[in-house]
Structure 1
Amino acid sequence: MNSTYEECIKACLECMESCNMCFDACLKEEDVKMMAYCIRLDRECADICSFAAKAMQSNSPFAKQICQLCADICEACGNECKKHEHHEHCRKCAEACFRCAEACRKMVA
């Protein structure tokens, strides 16, 4: 496996996990309606992170484009989660998203 991808794959998998945990925790919040966009982005972000990790692991010729999109989605998800920082799961998820966006951008550069 390409070692330049290793750090990025790790960040993607950690972000995917955070998004899945945040998604699940958001569904248990009192005001689920208020969390709807956060839940939606958690799903999108977990999916693209999983896909990006797979693309890098298989050395896809499209890995860079996929990681560029992953960075954009991670950033959007991070910004949304940041609005709900009073929930610990959102705060942790935002951190993971921003870390992943940075790792993806570094990989693409």
Structure 2
Amino acid sequence: MQMISAEMQSCVENCLNCYETCIKTSMHHCLEAGGKHVAPQHFRLMSTCAEICRAAAAVMLIGTSHHRNLCRVCAEVCEDCGQDCERIGDMQECVEACRRCAETCRSMSA
């Protein structure tokens, strides 16, 4: 069994946390809050963020060098999602999860 580095393990954990946070926030907080929280562009961005995070974690766990490309895109999407959640407001947990994931994914894409 191939072990992954501590840095990659941290990134996997941040990706999975961001996935979980975006899903829970969008399906519970955003749907219940309504208004700008469920604007199509925002809601799609949160779903995209969740799915790219899940995919990035999976590719890192698989152990292929293609994780660099996926992590680069994941960092970009997480950055966009975090900014949009901050713009809308009352979504600090999501903002923080997106920022942590973006930071570690950037390092994995280098």
* TM-score w.r.t. length of structure 2: 0.88
8 Å CA contact 2:37–2:43 kept in 1: the answer is no
Aligned to 1:71: 75
Structure 2 stretches lacking a partner, 5+ long: none
Partner amino acid, structure 1, of 2:105: C
Aligned residues: percent identity?
Answer: 37
Partner amino acid, structure 2, of 1:44: T
Whole-Å Cα distance in 1 between the matches of residues 34 and 22 of structure 2?
19
Give 1:37 shift.
Answer: 2.4
Indicate whether 1:98 and 2:99 are aligned. Answer: yes
> In the alignment, which of 43, 59, 62 is matched to residue 55 of structure 1?
59
> In the alignment, which of 16, 19, 22 is matched to residue 19 of structure 1?
22
Whole-Å Cα distance in 1 between the matches of residues 34 and 4 of structure 2?
44
Give 1:61 shift.
Answer: 2.6
Aligned residue pairs total 106
Matched residue SS, 2:58: helix
* TM-score w.r.t. length of structure 1: 0.89
8 Å CA contact 1:68–1:108 kept in 2: the answer is yes
Change (3 A) 1:27 1:34: closer
Give 1:35 shift.
Answer: 3.6
